[in-house]
Amino acid sequence: MNLAVLASGYGSNLQAIIDAVDKGEIEGHIKVVISDVKDAYALQRARRHGIEAVFIDIKDYSGREAYNEAIAAVLEKRKVELIVLAGYMRLVSPLIINKFRGRIMNIHPSLLPSFPGLEGIKQALDYGVKVSGCTVHLVDEGLDTGPIILQESVPVYDDDTVESLQNRIHKVEHRLYPRAIQLFIQGKLSIEGRKCFRNEG
């Protein structure tokens, strides 16, 4: 299956996906990594592994819709079948969601529906939760509201900082995200309403 990864920053989840592809744990090919940030380290990671790396600058376009049309054109030209968001800091537009309905995946550092949006880890710590975690979900028009594919909890300790909790959550993300992608590739996910079922039998 042809995959595309959209990333805005360091790309640690991208690296976990690349490693899983190299090990045969994901039966797919990353056709392109797209970023909205010119010097995103994620683009360097892609180039280092011989993956096409594309920077698309929103300033080159008349508005958000034209910018997303440019992204969609790159995805369609490369026959992408699954879009994976890995630290992509922009909302995916309805244009892309409609073209790739049910084929866009995201990972979020909280147990959704709790603490959606930016700074989910800080939100959780400020609230005083005893358990946090991460969620892999399909993308719809809302903010972190799509059907949940996989979740895993991570304990929160009294002396946790955003950084210490983030480090523990990242370790789980790097295992959970490749697994969710492989389930999708194997056709083991089905959606009914807003529920996602895993058919792993």
Q: Per the residue annotation, which of 108, 137, 170, 174 is the catalytic one?
A: 108
Tokens describing residue 148: 């949940």
Angle at the Cα of 172 from the Cα atoms of 185 and 30, rounded to 5 degrees: 35
Radius of gyration of the chain (CA): 16
Instruction: Give catalytic status of residue 29 as yes or no.
Output: no
Active site residues: 108
